[in-house]
């Protein structure tokens, strides 16, 4: 660990004290209001199939719904690709285990479907229970219903948004520091991109390595990796080891490495985090950035 002068004003007088400060100021959430549902994405997905869904609304509350659906598919084949969404499935092909073996149903978009294809599609819609909830009016409007389905499917993307949220939060500070001091930075920086933008060569552990941020002060290039772990797990040990190795690989007289990590998941993996904290130059969390540590590091020697 490199001792930073800013630590003194924070009452941190040793490496161990700095590590304890890191642990005691981990965030239990980085969720912003837009974390929960990506509404623009949800509504955009539904708008693309809204016409087809309104056609299917003709089936709501109707008797003899199987034959009615068959007729609708003949007249409006564009409704077929919407069926998987109505049972909360992405994709245009669904495989089902049956007594005689697996059966695969295709809902791919076509200009028309054969009688056998239509029969199979309607059979699936019936056996999956979709036709029943439409005919008995458990679902009253398929457009509104599909918005709810899309919201549910979008929650699967929340894990990815956690990573993005941490990057977005860190970028606010990186951008402010660069604006203040006239530095440059790029996000999702590969070695090739860094060479092209800054004219500096970077050693990497793999050809497709992307650094979350590369910040160029003119004299120094700082490579930042950013992540957040709200929960524990065995993965944290390997993560800490990976960044310790990466630090050893990229650090030289003109290149520095900074690991920004946060989340109370680290309370379950203190030892590997401690090892990396002491073995590398800079490991910090968002609170430490807020205290000015990142700015002091990248402006040192100006």
For residue 254, pLDDT over 70 is answered with yes
Our separate counts of H helices and E strands in the chain read 15, 7
Q: Is 161 left (phi over 0), alpha (psi -120 to 50) or beta?
A: alpha
Beta bridge partners, 185, equal: 215
Averaged pLDDT score across all residues of the chain: 93
d(CA 216, CA 119): 63
How far apart, in whole angstroms, are the C-alpha atoms of residue 173 and residue 178? 9
Residue 1: pLDDT over 90: no
Measured CA to CA, the distance from residue 24 to residue 27 in angstroms comes to: 9
- pLDDT value of position 163: 64
Q: Is the pLDDT of residue 205 over 90?
A: no
Domain layout of the chain by residue ranges: 6-32+157-299, 39-156
Residue 156, pLDDT above cutoff 80: no
Per-residue model confidence (pLDDT) at position 160: 67
Neighbours of 198 (CB within 10 A): 18
Tokens of residue 98, six digits: 């049956």
pLDDT at 162 over 70: no
pLDDT at 232: 83
- Contact (CB, 8 A) for 130 and 87: yes
Alpha-carbon distance of 289 to 165, in angstroms, equals 16
Distance set, CA 70 to CA 56, 97, 272 (Å)? 11, 24, 61
Q: What is the pLDDT of residue 204?
A: 86
Distances (CA, A) of 163 to 71, 157, 262: 47, 10, 11
Region 244-248: mean pLDDT is 94
The model's pLDDT over 43-102, given as tens digits with 9 standing for 90+, comes to 999 999 999 999 999 999 999 999 999 999 999 999 999 999 999 999 899 999 988 889
Mean pLDDT, to the nearest integer, of 10-22? Answer: 94
Share of the chain above pLDDT 90, in %: 82
CA 37 – CA 59 distance, rounded (Å):
29
pLDDT-wise least confident of 16-25, 225-234, 288-297: 225-234
Kindly indicate whether the domain formed by 6-32+157-299 is annotated with CATH number 3.40.1350. yes
Is 296:4 a contact under the CB 8 Å cutoff? yes
Between 51-55, 154-158, 167-171, 274-278, the lowest mean confidence (pLDDT) is in 154-158
Which of these ranges, 71-75, 155-159, 262-266, has the smallest mean pLDDT? 155-159
Give the integer Cα–Cα distance in Å for 116 and 191: 54
**pLDDT in the model for residue 261:** 96
The pLDDT assigned to 188 comes to 96
CA 241 to mean position of chain CA atoms: 23
In eight-state DSSP terms, residue 218 is: S
Determine the Cα–Cα distance for residues 160 and 91; give it in Å rounded to an integer: 20
């Amino acid at each position: 660990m490199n001792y930073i002068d800013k630590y003194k004003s924070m009452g941190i007088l040793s490496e161990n004290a700095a590590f304890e400060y890191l642990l005691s100021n981990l965030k239990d959430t980085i969720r912003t209001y837009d974390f929960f549902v990506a509404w623009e994405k949800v509504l955009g997905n539904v708008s693309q199939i809204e016409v087809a869904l309104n056609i299917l609304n003709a089936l709501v509350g109707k008797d003899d719904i199987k034959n009615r659906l068959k007729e609708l598919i003949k007249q409006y084949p564009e409704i077929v690709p919407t069926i998987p969404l109505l049972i909360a499935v992405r994709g245009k092909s669904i495989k089902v285990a049956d007594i005689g073996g697996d059966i695969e149903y295709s809902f791919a978009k076509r200009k028309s479907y054969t009688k056998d294809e239509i029969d199979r599609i309607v059979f699936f819609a019936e056996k999956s229970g979709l036709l029943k909830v439409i005919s008995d009016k458990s679902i009253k409007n398929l457009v509104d219903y599909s918005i709810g389905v899309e919201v549910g499917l979008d929650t699967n993307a929340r894990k990815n948004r956690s990573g993005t949220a941490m990057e977005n939060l860190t970028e606010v500070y990186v951008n402010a520091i660069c604006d203040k001091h006239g530095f440059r930075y790029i996000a999702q920086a590969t070695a090739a991109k860094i060479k092209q933008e800054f004219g500096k060569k970077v050693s990497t552990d793999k050809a497709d390595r992307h650094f979350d941020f590369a910040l160029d002060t003119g004299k120094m290039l700082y490579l930042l990796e950013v992540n957040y772990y709200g929960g524990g797990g065995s993965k944290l040990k390997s993560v800490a080891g990976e960044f310790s190795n990466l630090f050893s690989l990229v650090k030289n007289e003109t290149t520095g490495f900074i690991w920004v990590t946060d989340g109370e998941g680290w309370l379950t993996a203190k030892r590997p985090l401690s090892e990396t904290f002491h073995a590398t130059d800079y490991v910090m969390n968002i609170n430490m950035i807020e205290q000015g540590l990142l700015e002091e590091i990248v402006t040192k020697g100006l």
